[in-house]
C-alpha cells in the first residue's frame, strides 16, 4: 500500500512495484484523463504533472510517486476551466481529443515555469506530444492565446 497525493487529495492505493503511474491513475483511481497509448514515452498522451513538472506517466512507477504531488487534467481549474483549457476551447485546438489532456498538461507546466514563454518555448514544450489529427496549428494558437491572456 502506498499513499499517492493526486490533485490535492491523499489516495491510498495498493499497487505492485512494477505498476506504472498511468495504470494506477486510470485503473485504481478512475482518473482517465491521462491516456494510455504508446506505453513507451513516445506520444505524450499520458502526460501529468509530478511536483509541477510534466512527465510521461507511462514511464514512471507509481511507487516512486509516493509522497510527491501528482496533478492530472482532472485536477486543473478548481471546479472551473483552467486558462489553458479555456484557450483550447476558444482556439478549437482539438479534433478527436485523445491527445488534448497531455498537450494541456505540458503547457500548464510550461506556464507555471515561464508565465510569458516565447513561441519557441511553446513549440519546445509541445514537441513531446503527438497529435494524429494534425491540430498542431490550433494547439499552438491556443497556447499563444493562454499566454497573451495572462
Q: What is the pTM of this model?
A: 0.96
Q: Output the tens digit of pLDDT for each of the chain's 150 residues.
A: 999 999 999 999 999 999 999 999 999 999 999 999 999 999 999 999 999 999 999 999 999 999 999 999 999 988 899 999 999 999 999 889 999 999 999 999 999 999 999 999 999 999 999 999 889 999 999 999 999 998
- Single out the residue of 59, 54, 8, 64 nearest to residue 31, CA to CA: 8
CA–CA separation, 50 vs 135, rounded Å? 26
- Single out the residue of 142, 148, 88, 91 nearest to residue 115, CA to CA: 148
Amino acid at each position: 500500500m502506498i499513499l499517492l497525493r493526486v490533485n490535492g487529495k491523499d489516495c491510498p492505493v495498493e499497487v505492485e512495484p512494477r505498476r506504472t503511474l498511468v495504470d494506477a491513475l486510470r485503473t485504481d483511481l478512475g482518473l482517465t484523463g491521462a491516456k494510455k497509448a504508446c506505453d513507451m514515452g513516445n506520444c505524450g498522451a499520458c502526460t501529468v504533472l509530478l511536483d509541477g513538472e510534466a512527465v510521461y506517466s507511462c514511464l514512471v512507477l507509481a511507487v516512486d510517486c509516493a509522497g510527491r504531488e501528482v496533478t492530472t487534467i482532472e485536477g486543473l481549474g478548481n471546479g472551473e476551466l483552467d486558462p489553458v483549457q479555456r484557450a483550447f476551447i476558444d482556439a478549437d485546438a482539438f479534433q478527436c481529443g485523445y491527445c488534448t489532456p497531455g498537450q494541456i498538461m505540458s503547457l500548464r507546466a510550461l506556464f507555471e515555469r515561464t508565465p510569458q514563454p516565447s513561441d519557441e518555448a511553446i513549440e519546445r514544450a509541445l514537441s513531446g506530444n503527438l497529435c494524429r489529427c494534425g491540430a498542431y496549428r490550433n494547439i499552438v494558437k491556443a497556447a499563444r492565446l493562454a499566454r497573451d491572456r495572462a
